[in-house]
Amino acid sequence: MADSEKSFFEKLNYWLRNSITVKLFSIGIIILLLLIPAFMIENVIRERQYTSENAVTEVASKWGLEQTITGPVITIPYTTLVKDDKNNLVTVTEYAHFLPEKLNINGSAATEKRHRGIYEVVVYSSKLNFSGTFNLPKPEELNIPDKDLLWDEAYVEIGISDMKGINENIELKLNDTKYNLNPGIANADIVASGVSTKINLNDSSKLINYSFDLNLNGSKMLYFVPLGKENNVELSSTYSTPSFDGNFIPDSREVTDQGFHAKWKVLHLNRNYPQHWVSNSFNVASSAFGVNFLVAVDHYLKSTRAAKYAILIIALTFMGFFFVEIINKTRIHPFQYILAGLAICIFYALLLAFSEHIGFNLSYIISMILVLGAITYYSKFMFNNGRTTALLSAVLLIVYGFIYVIIQLEDYALLMGSIGLFIVLLVTMHLSRKIKFYND
């Protein structure tokens, strides 16, 4: 039948079936629609990560949470006159805080792994020894009259962020006198929770030696606040993958498969608060440092990063289908595009499910083999050409391998990704150079 004898609807139908422009437009619409399941899978990854974090917190809350140790600090109350709302002078009690001259911490942290379902949590039991000296200033150096200082109400406080982790009674030795520390802090100028005890200070100018042992359970991290004029911390553990964090990194460290040994030395010049002050003038928590005992659960992060490339893999797969259609004059139905796209989306669901049990790397390989096998099997019947099917499968294998490399290379991901996209653009330009897009 001549074109002049065809009806308008027949011409429209022929144009819709054979137009390259319509084909590209429909492929674009399908890709946009497939972003919906891809976005849903990203949400599932976030939900599983949130569930993992909740499981870790639940186990840690029963054993002991993150521990930050602050102290010891000697606090001496004193009285002073202030004006009230009616401009009358009233006597109030304030607190003068004194930090140690030297703070030496030596200890170890034995770690063990606990499980909550499929999730793993690292907890630790630490044995720490604290020792050092106090050198209290003379009353005239404090700008506080000696008669106003309440020496008989002086006390020592030690900040412990999670009291539940304390394993044994804490006995503090000041010179030759021993004190049993009790729970609670008299004021929250420096720390909000911890232990304290009243002490006997007969001579404020006397050099005071102190020592105590602290056996503490915790999880995730163990931090110290460098309150001493000179701070020396030495910590060893059986944990082989520590992350040294906080305001200071170790001066020396040795990490092996059997554990780690780290040393810190921090001076008072390295922090932003003095050796003594009154009231809550300074925030000491900002200077904390220590070690993280977090399990390296990076498969959620890597799965999220992989899912962000879903649009790229779908687009490259569809581009391969499109060029097969044009070059081999093979017709592929939009429904077949959708099935192939859904197979790619399911890849990320398989990746997430496997990685929670066997790790990311092996999960990626297994998921890739399953999905590529499904697409190759389906393509064989679409193309009816074994050579074309093998070529498309090889291209997809290269694409998945390239995405895997990008995920592993955090520092060079942008560089490698940009080079890869440029190569894809060159290949696309080469394959499309003879396509007559306006031959509709």
* 317 and 285 share one domain: no
DSSP state letter for 137: P
* 245 and 311 share one domain: no
Question: H/E element holding 173?
Answer: strand 171-174
* 344 and 271 share one domain: no
In a domain, 378, yes or no: yes
Identify the pLDDT of residue 262.
95
In a domain, 438, yes or no: no
* 42 and 133 share one domain: no
Q: What is the mean pLDDT of each run of 10 residues along the chain (440 residues)?
A: 54 57 79 85 84 79 88 88 73 86 94 78 91 82 78 90 91 91 87 90 73 92 94 93 90 91 94 86 89 74 82 82 76 82 88 85 90 87 79 84 79 75 78 63
On the 0-12 / 13-18 / 19+ scale of CB atoms within 10 A, 89 is: exposed
Rounded Cα gap, residues 310 and 345, in angstroms:
7
> CB of 123 within 8 A of CB of 220?
no
87: left (phi over 0), alpha (psi -120 to 50) or beta: left
> CB of 372 within 8 A of CB of 400?
yes
Q: HSE on the CB side for 273, CA within 13 Å?
A: 22
> CB of 208 within 8 A of CB of 136?
yes
* 204 and 316 share one domain: no
Rounded Cα gap, residues 184 and 179, in angstroms:
15
Domain boundary pick from 273, 296, 319: 296
Rounded Cα gap, residues 142 and 277, in angstroms:
8
* 118 and 184 share one domain: yes
**pLDDT tens-place string over residues 2-55:** 455 556 555 555 555 656 677 778 888 888 888 888 888 888 888 887 887 787
Domain boundary pick from 263, 296, 329: 296
* 250 and 348 share one domain: no
In a domain, 103, yes or no: yes
* 268 and 344 share one domain: no
* 37 and 75 share one domain: no
**pLDDT tens-place string over residues 361-379:** 898 899 999 998 888 888 8
Helix H, strand E, coil C: the string for 83-127 is ECCCCCEEEEEEEEEECCCEEEEEEEEEEEEEEECCEEEEEEEEE
Rounded Cα gap, residues 384 and 399, in angstroms:
23
Q: Is the bond into 72 cis (omega within 30 degrees of 0)?
A: yes
Rounded Cα gap, residues 104 and 102, in angstroms:
6
* 47 and 177 share one domain: no
Q: The domain containing residue 27 runs over which residues?
A: 15-51+300-431
Identify the pLDDT of residue 297.
54
In a domain, 7, yes or no: no
In a domain, 60, yes or no: no
In a domain, 121, yes or no: yes
Identify the pLDDT of residue 405.
83
Torsional sign, CA 277, 207, 151, 182: positive
The total of structural domains in the chain comes to 2
The pTM for the full model equals 0.72
In a domain, 439, yes or no: no
* 292 and 386 share one domain: no
Rounded Cα gap, residues 280 and 94, in angstroms:
10
User: Based on C-alpha coordinates, what's the Rg of the chain?
Assistant: 34
* 153 and 283 share one domain: yes
